[in-house]
Chains A and B, each alone.
Chain A
Amino acid sequence: MGNATRFPSLVLAITNENSTLSFTRSGASIPSDKSPRQLFEKLFVQGKPNEVETRVQQLQLGQSTLDFIMEQSNRLNRNLSKSDQQRMEQYQTSVRDLERRLHSAQEWEYREKLKVEAKAPEENMAPQQFVERTGMMFDVMKLALETDSTRIISLMIDTTVIHNITHHGNRPEVLSELQGHERRQFDALNRFLTNLNSSIEAGYSLLDRTMVLYGTCMGSANSHSNDNLPVLLAGGGFRHGQHLAFDQNNNYPLTNLYVSMLQRLGIETDTFSSGKGTLRGLEFS
């Protein structure tokens, strides 16, 4: 899906470390953009002409390398058996595919970036203000979706600054402090979803055309359990307003939800990792 937009995907994180939610197929982590301001600039501020030229030169060098190896493979092809020629054809197709991608990347470099009315966010803030920072990131993410600069975004929200109070030991004063932080996190999410909902695209709200999955890697942070994860799905034209609960001792795989989401995205697949089907009870509105 990546090719349709300037950025195939955005990998974002609110963190002071190098956390990320996105990994390559072989398991290598994809570095994240951590600054809402820099993300804004990447999305909407035109690069200086010489920066653009340097990037284009690199892309062109890549293309001429591909042209060259294509000629080399043609030269080889003459001496190959039929079955090996078929294999070489696969190599050549791959080279041509990559060439097309480089070419489209080059076109994006020259294309004017979209102008938006919003200003780049100011972000001089202490790590404790991670909720405010998250809110800023949400704002830029909404702009990215609205301008169709990308269609896939992952955002890692690192809550290390409140880590110690997540081990609350059920002490009331700690619980209420934690609740305060979590309430503000959900206020920020609420604003994000509301903003998506009020942005109209092709007769639908942007929220109806966007799936937003929000969750955490702990079922209970207090006991450090990774089971029974609470997960919230908004938008995407699903029938919402319900809580799907499953057997807590023998739970339904979360990956089934990912299969549902991939299918909703128009990707023909019926498996994702351990998920071998779609999520029960999740229907379109």
Chain B
Amino acid sequence: MVVLSPGLTIGTTLVGCCCLLGQIARGQLPERFLNHYCYDCHSASNIEAGLDLQALSNGTTLENTRRWEQVLDRIVAGEMPPRDSEQPNSQDLGVAIQSITKLLHDWDADASRSTPSMRRLIRSEYENTIRDLLEMPGIALANYLPADGQTHGFDKHPEALDISHVNIAKYLEVADRILDDAIATRPEPPTIHHRRISLVNRGGFVAHIVMNGDGVLLKDGKLDPTFPPASEQNYLDQGAHERFGSFNNGASVGLFRHEDESVCPYFTEHVTIYPARYRVKISLWGFQWDQGKILPGRGNEAARLSVVQLTGDGRGGRHPSYVLGYFNAPNDKPLEHELYVWMNRNELIGFNAASLAPAANYHKKKRAIEFTGPGIVVDWLDVEGPFYETWPPASHRAFFGDLPIAPFPSQEPNQIRPPVRYRPPQLGAGMNRPDQEPGLWTVQSESPLQDAERLLADFLPRLFRKPVPHNVTSDYLGIVKKQIESGDCFEDAMRTAYRSSLVSPNFLFHLTDYPDAKTEFALASRLSYFLWIRSRTID
């Protein structure tokens, strides 16, 4: 069954296409047969069992189709016409069955061609659509939306995609999250910082397990003379080592321990503040540890890097994360890997000594000194960023075009309310710090309503993935007008309109039954979401 299902879907699609190509002779109701054998009891003049076949004869609603299926079944089974009335001969019967069958097939083909059901976007479609639209290729949204259902093994089936007030509330929340991250609030991009990070950090968890024999510190490929491998006794505790600078003296970290339920190493010194692209570089190699000696390793090892989302809970790991890749740690000589990754606020880089088998020296008596096995060395991790292709970034320009960003005037004659800015809490123990706030900067517009109309007319069709009628754009313009009249600044008034667009059914649903469903837009949009789970149509 599972193997067949995708085939069935494609089959249906192809049938739809064939019908578009040429008109095939349509089936007809066997009027003569019906007249002779059925209408006496089942017509407007005499409705037995509530069945008026004449009333069912036009229209192709689902309900009518179902009734004719029943009629066909009863005729085929010989239950109708009833035993005590005149029976049709086998030829008449055959013709009637054939015509009704043919008609049902035609109706079915019509239905599959003209009325694909509307359905809401699944979480990944939602996320991809926003990522593409705002050119924020890694903005994380799916996890903040309620999980989607499944039916018949499909997660895109309309029946699986119910909606409740919980969805709407979350859509509102996520809309604000998008706007917070997308809109520029400063005249210049945040300063680009370059930070070299060790896998052991002061007060960090990896330092703790290395202190307990699940790793060692190395310098120039040899044991770090200031940090003896863990044995039966700790001569210095973690605090003392921190005071001596053992964890920030440039030593490399050799780990023996694979990730497990108690150990999830993170590079904790960088916790992203500004959602943007960052250049991440790491130097890796592998070795064999033999009770205090560093020997050539068994071959290439592999380390996994991931982006980890701190969530406010979760000491000792288990935060949501996604894998960046598995990277070669060659035997005995360092190899540098460079990545260009999108990181969101409160995300950091996670590490796993992926190719190692589970091993823990933590509870053993002589810890690292009695351990023999492979290890992976992290010399350092570089994080550089944030990088933006332009300032203000593309995400901002999607909402505000090229309007200038200027200081919000502190003395306004009209008592305009300043923009409301939400600063989400900074989590984790990053050593990176935010730039000083430049003061209150916001988008300026000389003629707000004209600008609003222009911006909305540009944005809405791209968000809704189809041409937007003028009256719909005016509705949104109405919000802006009302907000500005109530004292909102331009940024907040526009925000209110954009927030509404992000929870409107035009965005949240594939509206395949809209009058333009048969246009090229609709077809392109459906194909695009079918193939790529994202919108590739408007541009």
Contact = CB atoms under 8 A, between A and B. Distances in A.
B515 interface: yes
Given A68-B475, A97-B165, A29 B513 contact: no
A18 interface: yes
Contact of A76 (B117, B143, B145, B505): B505
B54 interface: no
B143 A26 contact: yes
Interface string B303-320: 000000001111100000
Contact of A69 (B62, B145, B169, B505): B505
The SS class assigned to the A binding surface is helix
A83 B515 contact: no
A17 B143 contact: no
B420 to A, nearest CB: 9
Contacts of B169: 98, 101
A95 interface: yes
A65 interface: yes
A277 interface: no
Contacts of A118: none
Contact of B475 (A19, A66, A72, A88): A72
Contacts of B509: 87, 91
Contact of B499 (A25, A65, A75): A65
B119 interface: yes
A31 B312 CA distance: 7
Interface residues of B, number: 43
B353 interface: no
Nearest to A224: B262
A25 B146 contact: yes
A126 interface: no
B146 A72 contact: no
B515 A79 contact: yes
A237 B164 CA distance: 34
A71 interface: yes
A90 B119 CA distance: 11
A46 B119 CA distance: 45
A82 interface: yes
Interface in A86-143: 87-88, 90-91, 94-95, 97-98, 101
B47 interface: no
A254 B17 CA distance: 54
Interface in A1-57: 17-20, 25-26, 28-29, 31
B359 to A, nearest CB: 18
Interface size class of A (residues with CB under 8 A): 35 or more
Given A19-B313, A28-B144, A61-B496, A95 B511 contact: no
B168 A98 contact: yes
A75 B472 contact: yes
Interface string B126-164: 000000000000000001111100000000001000111
A87 B117 contact: yes
A80 B517 CA distance: 10
Nearest to A58: B420
Interface of B: 61-62, 115, 117-120, 143-147, 158, 162-169, 172, 311-315, 472, 475, 479, 496, 499-500, 503-506, 508-509, 511, 513-515
Given A25-B146, A66-B168, A69-B504, 20 more contacts: A18-B313, A19-B315, A25-B166, A26-B145, A28-B311, A29-B311, A65-B496, A65-B500, A65-B503, A68-B479, A75-B472, A79-B515, A80-B514, A83-B62, A87-B118, A94-B165, A94-B168, A98-B165, A98-B169, A101-B169
